[in-house]
Structure 1
């Protein structure tokens, strides 16, 4: 990556507001904010494919249930306290504490304990082998490392008093308006010439739900970078002062329906299938995403993942079949229900289109919209709605992530908080415990077939790409590859 120059301030316009700055209890809205403040124990390469060094400079897998991490020395948290093995132990213990209900708890469930060998060495002792653990530890979202001193000082209020080791420190947070972060002068990462990162002195992240205002800010230069709706993408690509950078193909599930299979009427698998098979996602692909999204053929695994497979029997648009499922579910004339959608413009639009499609087979749907964090709580924690219409940004080349956090009975994103089928949790555990890639791929195909095709719990409808839009004076934008503006420390202004 080219060496940049230090200095300058950037303004980033997002469509999502931040709900919490606690990296152990994040929702989908929080990623771009938290990555500026925290680091994870393990890193990932630029394309998020292979574990690489992070706060740990190396690790040794002595046997399938013992991993010893050698930590970087001399790193300090933003409060001046040292990062060390005790800090790693405190953070992992906190994530695994059932009282916290951490987003990543199921991801780290194989860990029995963390042993402090010395200040720079932490030994992880596992209950069972876990081929996915390094990837789980490579995510700031869910596993960012927080200052133990700050945790003791602030408790639950760490959500608004973040203290990490990340490239920026929190300067100001005005909920609903802006988050301002400033350069961490003691940050440990360097560029290829040994110059300190980050290059930028300050970044202001502003949540602007209105896509027209967001794009206007980028056009005028009021914003330096941001997320633009696909309705404006053609204009952004033609704009002489803007640069559009595309993320990994299929890295975003633009449209998804998720059922609470413990809540009537979606506790009936045939009625779930009736709703899924009555949707023609190509209509949304054309009218909402302007032909920049493709109809999903698999599950929630990035298509460039080694574990990606298509699912032959997954829901596809077929009105006659949808009506058959209605009859099989005991509701031949349809039924009434309420669904929740989060309030991003594209999600609202696509849900309204699906609402009309459902109406054609007799399913009368009332749509309630809420901002992202509220809708996540309403559906997954409070179980207020039987169906959630959304987009899903959590796809990964590592196939274990979504099944673990969403489809296991104790997964944060399992709305029913019970097993989907008697055998599914065992299959997910088995897939994490084997290191044989061919065997893992087959297991994940079985898992996805159960969840998407047979039980119709979580149905991705459209896949697309992240798009980052930058003013042309912003350099090193290739760090956007997977999306979400997570590595702003690499950016500089020419």
Structure 2
């Protein structure tokens, strides 16, 4: 069972190996972050309860105003410096710095202060109570702690020698080619990891990733395409899909024309045939959310998301044009084939209407991420893929959230999100999230076009696949048979 080399495919090449520049979702670099830095904690995908790894506790006794993190004693980084509460504080404090441009600020920015209580105990205070803070923490770089000593040497030195306490260490990073990792013999959870080496490559093209699996050039691929998942199932390749609500949506920027006018947002939503997008982009294999929560969710209510109404859409486009505000916008697309196909399918559909014009601009992952952070876009793919509803929905749609890329700022919506966050019973939270759903339908921050598919596809020889949060595999659990 022990030994061997696994080839890993991820969608996005990192800008840097610094955790601040990595993202722990299926569409970015989950295996890489988990491999280099290990994990403080994970969640059980069946119960969503937190389970502990390098941490032994993360809990609140005051309704989420403060949390206490307790670490395993005696942890060290691979540079032999202590992995202690002070190291976690250093990492979490820097993730709050907007100048670093990291996506983890969406969660780290909720922290107002942190205090080292003793070598293994850190207390944090939140800007506002959030009993579900841990569910968001594990989705980003707050879960990945690097050596402060190594980070303080600067990005160039750190990229050459990133220091964590994870199951693997860097051998070599050839940009735009491969990241080669080898087993960390001092990993805290011996005898893991089971593999000797990992070779991680990045490609935005989901079909190229699947072809690499079918030809034996890779063993594990992060995935998001329903059509490729269907091909994998048909070909007998194992797949693991994380069950979620919500999904991906085409976010429209409230901060500037044309989408600062609700009529423009509603017109685009009502003009779009989601079945046609499914056919064009996913070969008809995907589904799109008709309600924000699936019927199996305790928060389900029958508040349906808008569907196509061509006549009303054209009436709105005409109305705006008559006021001198024809709907003209640019779709900022990631370089992935799926993203470009969605953009082009929407552009083609809107071309059948008068007084609306959509252009498509394709940029690399780093550029799109930076422009999202700077709110420099008209329309782009965003997501609110829901496990526990607080993290995804509050982050995407609360008026004060750093992760609110669309700029939606509705007092009733924000109040309902706050109520859902602090509710102490399912009934309280369900009432709050019913209001959330009604306000989102009324305000149209985006066009919900596909259910999320946080997933992996693996070779038949790879075993031990263990996912947490939004499709993040634990590389220390992997093993290969001949």
Smaller-chain TM-score range? 0.7 to 0.9
Contact 2:92 2:142 in 1 (8 A): no
SS in 1 for 2:209: helix
2:275 is equivalent to residue 286 of structure 1: no
| CA displacement at 1:128 relative to structure 2 | 4.0
What is the 5 A alignment of 1:104-253? 104-154=104-154, 158=158, 161-190=161-190, 196-227=191-222, 230-239=226-235, 243-250=237-244, 253=247
Who is 1:96 aligned against? 96
Alignment partners' CA distance in 1, 2:37 and 2:151: 14
SS at match of 1:170: strand
| 3-state DSSP of counterpart to 1:258 | strand
How far, CA to CA, are the matches of 2:146 and 2:47 in structure 1?
22
Q: Which moved more, 1:332-341 or 1:218-227?
A: 332-341
1:404 to 379, 394, 399: 394
1:290-325 Cα offsets, whole Å, 9 max, x none, are 3321121234x677654454533x321111121233
- 1:474 Cα offset (Å): 1.0
Matches of residues 73-88 of structure 1 in structure 2 within 5 Å?
73-88=73-88
- Structure 1 stretch 151-160 or stretch 96-105: which is displaced more? 151-160
Q: TM-score with structure 2 length normalisation?
A: 0.88
State whether structure 2 residue 462 is matched by structure 1 residue 469.
no
Structure 1 residues 92 and 435 mapped into 2: Cα distance closer, same or farther (>3 Å)? Answer: farther
The whole-number CA distance in structure 2 between the counterparts of 1:133 and 1:423 is 22
Match of 2:432 in 1: 443
Q: Distance in 2 between matches of 1:306 and 1:222?
A: 42
What is aligned with 1:344?
Answer: 336
Matched, 1:10 2:6: yes
Once residues 481 and 57 of structure 1 are traced to their aligned partners in structure 2, the CA distance between those partners, rounded to angstroms, is: 17
- How far residue 56 of structure 1 moved from its aligned partner, in angstroms, is 1.7
Structural RMSD (CA): 3.0
Residues in 1 aligned to 2:163 and 2:44: alpha-carbon distance in whole angstroms: 24
The count of aligned residue pairs is: 474
Where 1:24 maps in the other structure, the secondary structure is helix
- Higher mean alpha-carbon deviation, 418-427 vs 145-154, is at 418-427
Does 2:281 align with 1:317? no
* Alignment partners' CA distance in 2, 1:371 and 1:310: 38
Matched-pair contact (CA < 8 Å) for 2:249–2:448: yes
CA 1:303–1:43 in 2, change beyond 3 Å: closer, same or farther?
A: farther
Question: Structure 1 residue 258 and structure 2 residue 251: aligned?
Answer: yes
Deviation of the 1:483 alpha carbon: 5.7
> In structure 2, how many angstroms separate the alpha carbons of the residues matched to 1:252 and 1:177?
34
Distance 1:475 1:324 in 2: 55
Q: 1:65-103: CA deviations, max 9, x gaps?
A: 343332101211132211111112222222233444542
Q: Which runs of 5+ in 2 are unaligned?
A: none
Q: How far does residue 329 in structure 1 lie from its aligned partner after superposition?
A: 3.4
SS in 2 for 1:400: helix
Q: Distance in 2 between matches of 1:183 and 1:276?
A: 49
**What is the CA–CA distance in structure 2 between the aligned matches of 1:215 and 1:60, rounded to whole Å?**
40
- Separation in 2 of the partners of 1:440 and 1:298? 17
Q: Alignment partner of 1:288: what SS?
A: helix
Alignment correspondent of 1:53? 52
Determine the C-alpha separation between the residues in 2 that align with 1:309 and 1:189.
43
CA distance in structure 1 between the aligned counterparts of 2:322 and 2:174, rounded to whole angstroms: 49
- Structure 1's 118 and 271: CA in aligned 2 closer, same or farther, altered over 3 A? same
SS of residue in 2 equivalent to 1:296: coil
SS at match of 1:395: strand
- TM-superposed CA distance for 1:278, in Å, is 0.8
Q: Distance in 2 between matches of 1:297 and 1:216?
A: 32
SS of residue in 2 equivalent to 1:243: coil
Q: Aligned partners of 2:159, 2:404: CA distance in 1, in Å?
A: 23
In the superposition, relative to structure 1, how do residues 157 and 461 fare at CA in structure 2: closer, same or farther (>3 Å)? farther
1:376 to 1:101, Cα distance in 2 relative to 1, 3 A: closer
The answer on whether the counterparts of 1:6 and 1:492 sit within 8 Å (CA) in structure 2 is: yes
Indicate if the aligned counterparts of 1:106 and 1:410 stay in contact, CA closer than 8 A: no
TM-score, length-scaled by structure 1: 0.86
